[in-house]
Amino acid sequence: MGRTIFIEELLHKPMEETSVEIVERKGRGHPDYVIDGASEAVSQELCKYYLKTFGTVLHHNIDKGLLVGGKAHPVFGGGDVIDPMYLVVAGRAVTRVKEEGGDRPVPVGTLSLRAIKAFLKANFRFLDVERHVIVNYMIKPSSLDLVKTFEAGREMPLSNDTSFGVSYAPLSQTEHLVLGVEADLNSRQTKKHLPEVGEDIKVMGLRKDHRITLTVAAPQISSLTPDLDHYLSVKDEVKNRIEDLATKITPQDVDVYVNTADNLAKSIVYLTVTGTSAEQGDDGNTGRGNRIHGLITPCRPMSLEATAGKNPINHVGKIYNVLARQMAEKVYREVPGISEVFIKVLSQIGTPIDHPLMTDVQLILNKGVPLSHVRGDVESIVNDELASIRNISQALIEGSIPLF
Amino acid sequence: MGRTIFIEELLHKPMEETSVEIVERKGRGHPDYVIDGASEAVSQELCKYYLKTFGTVLHHNIDKGLLVGGKAHPVFGGGDVIDPMYLVVAGRAVTRVKEEGGDRPVPVGTLSLRAIKAFLKANFRFLDVERHVIVNYMIKPSSLDLVKTFEAGREMPLSNDTSFGVSYAPLSQTEHLVLGVEADLNSRQTKKHLPEVGEDIKVMGLRKDHRITLTVAAPQISSLTPDLDHYLSVKDEVKNRIEDLATKITPQDVDVYVNTADNLAKSIVYLTVTGTSAEQGDDGNTGRGNRIHGLITPCRPMSLEATAGKNPINHVGKIYNVLARQMAEKVYREVPGISEVFIKVLSQIGTPIDHPLMTDVQLILNKGVPLSHVRGDVESIVNDELASIRNISQALIEGSIPLF
Amino acid sequence: MGRTIFIEELLHKPMEETSVEIVERKGRGHPDYVIDGASEAVSQELCKYYLKTFGTVLHHNIDKGLLVGGKAHPVFGGGDVIDPMYLVVAGRAVTRVKEEGGDRPVPVGTLSLRAIKAFLKANFRFLDVERHVIVNYMIKPSSLDLVKTFEAGREMPLSNDTSFGVSYAPLSQTEHLVLGVEADLNSRQTKKHLPEVGEDIKVMGLRKDHRITLTVAAPQISSLTPDLDHYLSVKDEVKNRIEDLATKITPQDVDVYVNTADNLAKSIVYLTVTGTSAEQGDDGNTGRGNRIHGLITPCRPMSLEATAGKNPINHVGKIYNVLARQMAEKVYREVPGISEVFIKVLSQIGTPIDHPLMTDVQLILNKGVPLSHVRGDVESIVNDELASIRNISQALIEGSIPLF
Amino acid sequence: MGRTIFIEELLHKPMEETSVEIVERKGRGHPDYVIDGASEAVSQELCKYYLKTFGTVLHHNIDKGLLVGGKAHPVFGGGDVIDPMYLVVAGRAVTRVKEEGGDRPVPVGTLSLRAIKAFLKANFRFLDVERHVIVNYMIKPSSLDLVKTFEAGREMPLSNDTSFGVSYAPLSQTEHLVLGVEADLNSRQTKKHLPEVGEDIKVMGLRKDHRITLTVAAPQISSLTPDLDHYLSVKDEVKNRIEDLATKITPQDVDVYVNTADNLAKSIVYLTVTGTSAEQGDDGNTGRGNRIHGLITPCRPMSLEATAGKNPINHVGKIYNVLARQMAEKVYREVPGISEVFIKVLSQIGTPIDHPLMTDVQLILNKGVPLSHVRGDVESIVNDELASIRNISQALIEGSIPLF
């Protein structure tokens, strides 16, 4: 069966040549990231349990969640969390499987708590999972019909919805920079040299022509920060570190601002007990953070689907976003003559996921490159990627593809 | 003080001339819409209470929420909700105000419950607010610093964050069509003629060149739908109605599909007791639904900010999205020679909201129209809109600006 | 099959001749009463639904619950609830019944919300069920085995547990008085003359020889109490009313104290918006309030079982307390020569409820009355009551037997 | 200031001479015990924190709570918890203390979670606190007035309520036996020899003249119980162990029944994953379990107050029950000629706790012992105990007095 693939030229300026660009990343400790991580952790745990127990991944969708901020009292050199955060994930999952000799229950609750707490422990150094957060789940039994749909497509899963995935390549310099800054500040190496820097790093990049302004929020861990002098010196180091990094990523001018809400006159600094602003009132919702490439990019096409928590077998709102991204990167990397590539993959409910309703490829070509020169190679890559779409499911179960 | 306004020409094809367009609307009864509505209802109620009691709107931000689906048992001619839905909004608000003679508490809890229930009653005909939904709130006292910032800017509020708003004009035909279909199916008139049609209308529009495919999900109210024949005839009427409407909105070919997940062989039809899929397991999160113009448009620039629930005084994630939309529409409407206009408004935390860090205007001009011909008029509109930005706050408090 | 009935003489002084007696009643608006009422309302609603739908009452047990107090701001002439109360009932119920053509779900959630809210509306005049309280339920599906046990005993239900019921007759004068005071202050007539008096009446009676001290807490409704003078005059009227009532119930000396925690110097008076102290932080638990005769009587034998919320078909922790009370009253009323009667009924799990493991009757006889004179009549009453035990179930379903 | 102490003779038969006695104990793993333990753990943790931080214990009352049972799937040799239990404590506490330089928050939430989880870890061997239970708290700030009352009585605290404590001595043989059986089955030694036996031991003792029937429920840990034979042999060992123990405690005939709800024909045995029936649906409420001597004794005077969770400084519902018990035991132990002693201590709100409104002592005297012979010694003991009442508070903070 052939596939519907549209390939067209787009007569736009590439992103680097536009005059204004806005890019944002909510780092590993941001409330929206944390609740995304919790939703996804539950999905991965369920996948592994279903696979081990029943030999196949069963239907689930945990793509909603809420992290309610707590109340904290950080002080230089110490402090404590006063009221814990409250984290709840919501969705549906197969909770009971018919077997010979009766139904077999799936320990969805126990698995969810374990998965979320393991994620939190791995994600934070100073958040005490037992005292600083209350973890809950509201997961209902999957409706029978969805389960059926799911099982029917065991060979090639059938799309669960009419939805789409969207992505593009390559990343711009600003995008690389914003990603890089957060990655660096949350890297193992930086945590070793600057353990004071908490995980809730937020980076906003604004490019105006060839000048990039980076606004970075980077909390400090109160127990490691004995006084204001220490705080300020760490803040300086963070700034220097970012400036150094910037010179390696982009030749453009980069202005760096750190913790702009600080107000020394009023004794306001960005101090946290745990490393996340959720300890003091900031809330998060699943699907409100970074898109598939780890960024929020209002100047680019974006999907509003939450990838976190959706099942990786037939939920196209997850799979097609990963797919679009992988296709775009491969096309850009392997086909010469292309300046930028935008890909949308559309599903139709109930049809095999390797045969989307349509794959739409838009290309900004290098000057002088005709579409006909690249069309064949692009189509071939798109087809290959669709044919091997199940690899994505496998990689998602293993957690080897970053989603946000 | 002058404002930073960039106006540039964009050498893109207007949306109508592109080959693929995807547009979606989650209608009034969709779980994401409902929880957006609940967040916004609480904000409006708080605004009114603060104004009446203290003469000014105080700080709050209720832009997170979770609607956990229930369990229902709709049957032709009846049925019931088995397990109610659970709705919770989260955020912060000023809960206590210093007055002579002691603190005065703000009844945030009581106001929230009232606002959300009133919204639900107004939004649904067959949802029994007392039996079908459990309403909760997790609203913490605002941190003192935010309150201070807020009060300090009483003359012209100071931006609460480094954020941005994004919008464009005009809407494409597909966009008009998607909006129009939901509006019609949820209109008072249609509810009179086809009361069976529930509120959870979801419309997905896909345009391929000059052919638009509309995929519409429209639940029916079980108590009003005595049998399958009735269901099918209402479904036919819905399809006809949409086809008729389409001919009034666009000359393009429009294919209409209604309730494509129905499967008569398996007795699967889209029946609900209450009019929303949330009754049977579908969940919602604040900020996951429609953007400022009521649509999800992955081919267009979009903000990921939730407008719902943010305070309308200094929360630029709300105000600047409304502003960008109003500016874009006014520019398109009033300045001849413009084919499409895209506007981004960027804030800087702590500066007056009528002086954003930057307003970026991108114009697709009609053939032969030089930028210089329109620049002055556009700039003037942008300046006027910024100068009268406080009107937006007023209108938001009154609820007269649709946000999603 | 014969029954095991022990009847023995008890050589105790009757209560009226003892030197110290303590009696307490938590009135209709007390947090413990309210959560008892909520548990029982759910049980009655389930009974009615099961009966109507399946022709028989199915297993359930809702005898746990928690009422978490809210926060209120009552002021003379007005005030409001700031944070609503939170009420949750917990237990188990049959949620799904096998029928031809598939399972039929029981709308346990919807029924619970309706029952609890209806109870609250009937119980309070100034509590706005929609704004002042959040109602939730945590009711799990009954385990299969219990359901089986239940159905197996359809002719004569089988005892669900090894438990017991305890009661006695007659009530002492102090007991009559404590019951009477609350009944009067919460009567329709008093609410008409003194609408200011809230429902959360608490009466503590202490008898020392022939002198009874009544300590009464009686909140006033803030919106009906314009000022301190009004408050004090209502408080006086309450005191007078109680003193008048006392003379009708007992010839003993009665001292009456009302709202002893008031402290005018510190402006502390007992004012409520809603009529219950739960509005301002007082919590309640099911089964912590009055025993079967409406009183807490530490000088008397008492069962610690909660009668509220248990199913009225085979839950002996409920039925046998009612039974013991009815037996004791009938014995005292109908058999001459008895001064006081104490009855304990013990069950054995799995045996028919009309054949308890043992019924133990202790009698304080009037001077000169030998046990042999009354034994036959007492045994006959006990046997009759056991034989007609199913009438109790019927009356409990109809709600015609007060339980607390 | 003198104290009001009534001492009178009671012309009753001692318990051992009565014909029927009922005694029950809910062991360490019973849902009601667990939630009592959680409430009390929070109170102790708060006491320690207040003492360490502010030099004095501040007001709190956590005497309400709810444990909602989960869902488990125990199988011979393994199994798992499917849905975790949910545990919430409720009450009030001082959450903020005025200090020079501003308010100091008390980390009530963090302390509560830690205390409850530590209690659960110490109480169970096979309950995984992180996966098998969700712990929450609903503790509101103490109302200002209560705080004031509290501080005012720093020298000798003032009674927080009009309430009473009740106890007696000595324990009967049946009472000793019921206590002893649970203590033994939950002892370190037994857990070593019979690790299969879970913590949720429930013992019901019924004495008819000189024959005691013990009905014991003792769950087994599923992972340690490979098959039915093993289960039955452990059950036998439990029975033998109890019978052996009984001969050491009482010369009366003792019949022992273990797990009477087992039904081998239907494959029903008492198997648990964690050791508590709360894993599979059994719920608990604070204050519904054992009274001050660790027993439920419907034939004895009892207080309905929950001792668990109340503050040990001025909450007479806690302190006076401990006091009554200590007084009764001391009187019985030290004053010859007394057969049984019953003590009630009554408070009056706002008066020093060492001067109750009344202490009522009832004595069953040995044959031939006149009241005048013992009155002086009894009064002296009562006075001494009241004078040293603050020792009780100290011991309660340290957790060295068992309460339930």
Structure confidence at residue D44 (pLDDT)? 98
Distance from CA of B262 to the nearest CA of A (A): 11
- CA A341 – CA A362 distance, rounded (Å): 6
Helix (H) or strand (E) holding A360: strand A358-365
Write out pLDDT tens, residues C50-71. Answer: 999 999 999 999 999 999 999 9
Confidence band for C145, pLDDT divided at 50, 70 and 90: very low
Of C80, C107, C130, the CB nearest to B82: C107
pLDDT of D130 = 96
Residues of chain D positioned with their CB less than 8 A from the CB of A114: 130-131
**Amino acid at position B197, single letter:** V
Is A66 within 8 Å of B90 when comparing Cβ atoms?
yes
Nearest to B113 among C84, C108, C113 (CB): C84
- The set of residues, in sequence order, having a beta carbon less than 8 Å from that of D403 and lying 6+ positions away, is D36, D40, D292, D307, D308, D318, D322, D396
Which one of C73, C107, C135 has the shortest CB-CB distance to B134? Answer: C135
Beta-carbon contacts of D173 under 8 Å, excluding residues fewer than 6 positions away, are D16, D207, D212, D249, D250, D252
Quickly state the pLDDT bin for A150 (edges 50, 70, 90). Answer: low
Helices B316-334 and B389-398, axial angle in degrees (round to 10): 110
Q: Give the best residue of A4, A15, A20 to mutate against chain B (max B CB count within 10 A).
A: A20
What is the C-alpha to C-alpha distance for residues C92 and C138, in angstroms, rounded to an integer? 8
Q: Which residues fall within 8 angstroms of residue B102, CB to CB, at 6 or more apart?
A: none
Q: Which of B84, B114, B135 sits opposite C110 (nearest CB)?
A: B84
Determine what percent of chain B falls in helix, strand and coil, rounding each to the nearest 5.
35, 30, 35
CA A257-A262-A265 angle, to 5 degrees, is 130
Q: Per the structure block, which two tokens stand in for A183?
A: 């990655």
Interface test with C, best of D134, D140, D268 (most C CBs within 10 A): D140
Phi, psi for residue D296 in degrees, rounded to 5:
-110, 120
**Per-residue pLDDT for D255 more than 90?**
yes
Beta-strand ranges (E) seen in A209-331 are 211-217, 220-221, 253-258, 271-272, 284-285
* pLDDT more than 70, % of chain C: 97
Residue of chain D with shortest Cα separation from C142: D281
Whole-number Cα distances in Å, C106 to A13, C37, C103? 61, 22, 10
Helix axes D31-54, D390-398, angle to 10 degrees: 110
* Distance of residue A69 Cα from the nearest chain D Cα, in angstroms: 13
Tell me the average pLDDT across D232-252: 98
Return the number of CB contacts < 8 Å for A and D. Answer: 72
For B305, nearest residue in chain A (alpha carbons): A288
Judge whether residue B247 has pLDDT over 90: yes
Answer whether D6 sits within 8 Å of C13, measured CB to CB.
no
Is there a contact between B82 and C110 if contact means CB atoms under 8 Å apart? yes
Count of Cβ atoms closer than 10 Å to residue C340 Cβ: 22
Option in D20, D283, D302 nearest C90 (CB): D283
Strands (E) in B13-163, as ranges, are: 20-26, 60-68, 71-75, 78-83, 85-93, 96-99, 102-105, 133-141
* pLDDT the model gives residue D151: 55
Residues, chain D: 404
Smallest Cα distance from B260 to chain A, Å = 8
Give the C-alpha separation, C55 to A353, whole Å: 49
| CB within 8 Å: B110 and C73 | no
Q: From the CA of B114, how many Å to the nearest CA of chain C?
A: 6
According to DSSP, the residues that pair with B202 across neighbouring strands are B26, B217
Write out chain C residues lying below 8 Å of B84, CB-based: 109-110, 113
B167 Cα to chain A: minimum distance (Å)? 10
- Are A298 and A138 in contact by the 8 Å Cβ rule? The answer is no
Nearest beta carbon to residue D73 from set A70, A105, A132: A105
Dist. CA C321–CA C323, nearest whole Å: 5
Query: Both ends of chain B: CA-CA distance in Å?
Result: 33
Confidence of residue B100 (pLDDT cuts 50, 70, 90): confident
Beta bridge partners of B208: B20, B211
The subunits that touch chain C, with at least 3 C-beta pairs less than 8 Å apart, are: B, D
User: Which of D45, D113, D273 to mutate: most A Cβ within 10 Å?
Assistant: D113
Distance CA D305, CA D290 (A): 11
At residue A145, the pLDDT reads 46
Q: Which residues of A touch D82 (CB under 8 A)?
A: 95, 105-110
Residue D139, strand partner residues: D91
With an 8 Å Cβ cutoff, are B71 and C105 in contact? yes
Task: Give per-residue pLDDT as tens, D14-41.
Answer: 999 999 999 999 999 999 999 999 999 9
Residue of C23, C36, C304, C351 to mutate, testing the D interface (most D Cβ within 10 Å of its Cβ): C304
Q: How many angstroms separate the CA atoms of C323 and C318, rounded? A: 9
Say which residues have a Cβ less than 8 Å from residue D162's Cβ, sequence separation at least 6.
C204, C215, C260, D346, D347, D348, D349, D357
Is the pLDDT confidence value at B337 over 80?
yes
> Which of A375, A373, A371, A394 lies closest to A383 in space, CA to CA?
A375
D325 to chain A, closest Cα gap in Å: 36
Q: What is the pLDDT of residues A60-110, one digit of tens each?
A: 999 999 999 999 999 999 999 999 999 999 999 999 998 877 789 999 999
Question: Could B82 and C136 be called an inter-chain contact, meaning their C-beta atoms sit closer than 8 Å?
Answer: no
Q: Nearest Cβ partner of C285 from D11, D20, D286?
A: D286
Complex confidence, ipTM: 0.95
Q: Is the peptide bond before C14 cis (omega within 30 degrees of 0)?
A: no
Distance CA B393, CA B401 (A): 10
Rounded to the nearest 10°, the torsion over CA A276, A278, A280, A281 is 160
Sequence-ordered list of residues with C-beta below 8 angstroms from that of D97, at least 6 positions apart, any chain: D54, D58, D103, D104, D106
pLDDT digits 0-9 by tens, A271-326: 999 999 999 989 999 999 999 999 999 989 999 999 999 999 999 999 999 999 99
The mean pLDDT value of chain B amounts to: 94
Q: Which two tokens stand for residue B121?
A: 């009653």
User: What subunits touch chain B, counting only 3 or more CB pairs under 8 A?
Assistant: A, C
* Cβ count near B350 (within 10 Å): 16
- Residues D183-204 have a mean pLDDT of 98
What's the mean pLDDT in C182-186?
98
Instruction: Report the half-sphere exposure of D311 (CA within 13 A, side-chain side).
Output: 27
Among chain A residues, the shortest Cα distance to D103 is held by A73
**Which residues in chain C are contacts of D346 at CB distance < 8 A?**
22, 206
B364 phi and psi angles, rounded to 5 deg:
-95, 115
Rounded CA gap, D164 and D149, in Å?
19
Considering only CB atoms, A134 lies closest to which of D106, D131, D135, namely: D135
Cβ-Cβ contacts under 8 Å, B85 against chain A: none
- CA-based nearest residue in chain D for residue C168: D299
- The residue in chain C having the minimum alpha-carbon distance to the alpha carbon of residue D291 is C304
Residues whose CB falls within 8 Å of the CB of residue B85, separated by 6 or more in sequence, listed in order: B67, B68, B69, B70, B132, B133, B134, B278, B279
pLDDT in tens, C219-266: 999 999 999 999 999 999 999 999 999 999 999 999 999 999 999 998
Segment D119-124 mean pLDDT: 98
Q: For residue A75, count other CB atoms closer than 10 A to its CB.
A: 12
Structural contact between residues B31 and A287, judged by C-beta atoms closer than 8 angstroms: no
pLDDT at A147 over 90: no
* Beta pairing class for B20-26 and B78-83: unpaired
* E-state strands within B277-366: 284-285, 338-346, 358-365
- What's residue A101's pLDDT? 74
Q: Verify whether the Cβ–Cβ distance A81 to D109 is below 8 Å.
A: yes
For residue C286, the one-letter residue type is T
Q: Which residues of D202-224 are buried (b: 16+ CB within 10 A; e: fewer)?
A: bbbbbbbeeebbbbbbbbbbbbb
The confidence score (pLDDT) of residue C150 equals 53
Work out the mean pLDDT of chain D and round it to a whole number. Answer: 94
Tell me the C-alpha distance between B114 and B110, whole Å.
Answer: 6
Question: What mean pLDDT is predicted for residues B250-272?
Answer: 95
Across the interface, whether the CB atoms of C108 and B83 are under 8 A apart is answered yes
Q: What is the mean pLDDT of residues B4-8?
A: 95
pLDDT tens readout for residues C370-390: 999 999 999 999 999 999 999
| Whether B11 and A8 lie within 8 Å, measured CB to CB | no
> Are there at least 3 beta-carbon pairs closer than 8 Å between D and B?
no
Consecutive H or E run containing B326 = helix B316-334
Supply B128's token pair: 């029994």
Chain B nearest-CA residue for C138: B83
Beta-carbon neighbour count of residue D154 at 10 Å? 11
The dihedral of CA B253, B258, B260, B265: what is its sign? negative
**Residue given tokens 């019979």 in the structure block:** D194
Q: Which residue of A has its CA nearest to B206?
A: A346
Residue type at B141 in one-letter notation: P
Tens digit of each residue's pLDDT (9 = 90 or more) over D330-348: 999 999 999 999 999 999 8
Q: Which residues of C touch B69 (CB under 8 A)?
A: none
pLDDT above 60: residue D147? no
SS3 (DSSP) at D358: strand
3-state class (DSSP) for residue C389: coil
User: Is the model's pLDDT at A369 over the cut of 50?
Assistant: yes
CB contact (8 A) between residue D109 and residue A80: no
In DSSP notation, C355-368 reads S-SEEEEEEEEPTT
**Average per-residue pLDDT for chain C:** 94
Nearest CA in chain D to A86: D136
Pairing type for strands B85-93 and B133-141 reads parallel
Contact B131 C113 (CB under 8 A): yes
The Cα D382–Cα D5 span in angstroms is 8
Q: Is the confidence at residue B188, as pLDDT, over 80?
A: yes
Nearest CA in chain B to A141: B281
Q: Per the CB < 8 Å rule, is C130 touching B107?
A: no
